[in-house]
Amino acid sequence: MNRNIIIYTIAGLLIIVILVMTFFPGTLQAWKDSGKTVEDKCKPAPGYTEESWREHMSHHPNIYKECLT
């Protein structure tokens, strides 16, 4: 009985994580950038052009406010 509860709880948490990552795909990148210095944070990430990185940062003004000024 207790084993089923643990399995259902883990499955439910995995489903929630998958849904969040599906509906908010930039969340992981923004979370990784939140602890970086301003210089590192404002440089384009691999796979981004300067223009696409600025657009990405504009979607997260609370994290990239130093870069958007």
Q: CA 59, CA 62: separation in Å to the nearest integer?
A: 9
pLDDT of 33? 67
Sign of the dihedral through C-alpha 54, 56, 61, 64: negative
pLDDT of 62? 80
pLDDT of 57? 86
Compute CA 41 distance to the chain's CA centroid, rounded to the nearest angstrom: 13
pLDDT of 1? 67
DSSP annotation of 30 reads: H
- In the chain, which stretches have pLDDT less than 50? none
